[in-house]
Amino acid sequence: MFLKFILLSLGLMLPGMAAAAELNAANTAWVLTSTALVLFMTLPGLSLFYGGLVRSKNVLSVLMQCFAITCVVSLLWLAGVYSVIFADGGAWQPFLGGLSKVFLAGVDTASLTGDIPETVYFMFQMTFAIITPALIVGAFAERMKFSAMLWFSTLWLLIVYVPICHWIWGGGWLAQLGAMDFAGGIVIHVNAGVAALVSALVLGNRKGFPNTAMPPHNMTMVVTGAGMLWVGWYGFNAGSALTADGKAGMTMLVTHIGAASGALTWMFIEWQRFGKPSVLGIVTGMVAGLGTITPASGFVGPLGGLVIGVVAGVVCFYATQYVKRSLKIDDSLDVFPVHGIGGITGSLLTGVFAASQLGGMGLKEGVSILDQVGVQALAVVVTIVWSALFSYLILKGLDGWMGLRVSPDEEVQGLDQVLHEETGYLDL
C-alpha cells in the first residue's frame, strides 16, 4: 500500500512523464478546429478567391477544379499517400516512408500521434495536401482541360508532393539536416509556385494575352475568398503547432502581423506607382504576406513577422510586375510570384529571424544564422529542381497522351459551357 502511494505521488509530481502517452483533450480540440479551418481555406476560400479573379465565362470551371481536387486528394491520402509520407520507411526513411498505414491499417480510435488521435493528425495533414495542387490551378486557369487537370493533380501529388513532404515533415533527409519549415513555405508554397510557373510555360499564354485586358469578373467574390483565406490561415499556421499553448498563440500572432504588413506594403507601393490603391492589390499583398510568413511562423517573434510581411509586400509586388510585364508569362492568377517567390523569401528569412537575438524562438545549439540560412537555401533549391523537373515531365507526358489545352474556339467560348455545360450566371 505504501509503495502504491509513493508511485502515485511520483506520477502527480511528474505529470509530463505520467501523461506522455495519453490523449490531450485541449490539443485535440485545437487541431480538430484547425483542420476545419484549413479545409475552409480551399472550400470555399481559395475557390471564391480564384473564381472571382477569372472571367465570368470560366468561374464554374475554377470552382469545379478546386472541388474535384479536394475529393481526389482525400481518397489518395487514404489509399496510401499518408502512409508513404508519415509511416516508418525503415532503411528508406531518409527518402520515403513505408506502407504500414495504407488505408490506415492498424489505426483505430485509440491510436495517437503525439498526444492527439492519429485520425485527427491524418485529417489535418490531408488538408495541406489538398490545398497544394489546388493552388496550382491559378496558373493554368481558363485554358486547361478538366481531364488533364485531374491527371496532372493526381500524378503531381504522387511524384512531387509526396517525396518533398516526407523529406521535410516525415523525418526525411532534409529534416535530418535541420531544414525549418513550420507550416509549408517550402513543402507547399515553393513547391506549388514552381509547378505553377512550369505549367504556365508549358501550356502557353491565354488567347489574347498580354494585349487583351482580362480583369477579375467579380471583386466582391475575390475579397470574400481572401477574407476566408486570412481566417483559415490561422489553422494553417497556428494549427501546425499541434498544441493549444503559447507557441500556437505566438504563431497566430505573427501570422496576422505578416498578413497585415504585407497587405499595407503592397497597397502603398501600388498607390505611389499608379496613383490609387486597389482592392485587388491589398488582398494580393495579404496573401503574399501569409505565404511568406508561413515557413517562419512557429519560429519567429513579432519583429520577424513584421519585417517578413513588409519584405513580402515589396518582393512579391515587383515579382508579379516582372513576370507579367517583362517576361510576359501568363501565370493567370500570379501563383508563382506570390506563392513561389513568397515561399522562397520566407524560407530564407526563417533562418535569420528564428535567431533568439532577433526575437525568434532560437536556432539549434551550435547553429549560426549563416549555417541555418545555408540549410534553408539547400531545401529551397532541392524543392525548385524536383518540382520543376517532374512538373515538366508530367505535363509533357499528358500533353502527348491527351492534350492539355482546350481548342482556341473553346477557350473563347469559355470553359463553363464547353466542359461542364453550365454557366455561373443566369444572364449569360
Q: Percentage of the chain with pLDDT > 70? A: 95
Q: Cα–Cα distance between 345 and 336 in angstroms, integer?
A: 12
Q: What is the mean pLDDT of residues 190-204?
A: 98
Each residue's pLDDT tens digit, 326-384: 999 999 999 999 999 999 999 999 999 999 999 999 999 999 999 999 999 999 999 99
Position 426 scores a pLDDT of 83
pTM: 0.94
Q: Which amino acid is at 257?
A: I
Each residue's pLDDT tens digit, 214-239: 999 999 999 999 999 999 999 999 99
Contacts of 45 (CB under 8 A, 6+ apart): 225, 226, 228, 229, 232
pLDDT of 4 over the 60 cut: no
Contact 52, 140 (CB under 8 A): no
Q: Whose CA is closest to 40, among 253, 244, 233?
A: 233
- Strands 116-117, 112-113: pairing is antiparallel
**Per the structure block, which three cell numbers stand in for 247?**
507557441
Q: Percentage of the chain with pLDDT > 90? A: 94
pLDDT of 189 over the 70 cut: yes
Q: Whose CA is closest to 417, among 56, 46, 153?
A: 56
Lowest mean pLDDT among 15-29, 125-139, 289-303: 15-29
Position 21 scores a pLDDT of 66
Could you say which of 3.40.50.300, 1.10.357.10, 3.40.50.2000, 1.10.3430.10 is the CATH number of the domain covering 33-420? 1.10.3430.10
52 C-beta neighbours (distance < 10 Å), count? 23
Position 157 scores a pLDDT of 98
Q: How confident is the model at residue 427 (pLDDT cuts 50, 70, 90)?
A: low
Residue 144 forms beta bridges with which residues?
405
**Per the structure block, which three cell numbers stand in for 409?**
474556339
Q: Whose CA is closest to 192, among 270, 67, 286, 294?
A: 294
Instruction: Write down the mean pLDDT value for the chain.
Output: 94
Q: Cα–Cα distance between 134 and 153 in angstroms, integer?
A: 8
DSSP H or E segment with residue 117: strand 116-117
Q: Which amino acid is at 370?
A: L
Each residue's pLDDT tens digit, 9-34: 434 344 433 344 699 999 999 999 99
Q: How far is CA 37 from CA 31, 259, 391, in A?
A: 10, 17, 28
Position 64 scores a pLDDT of 98
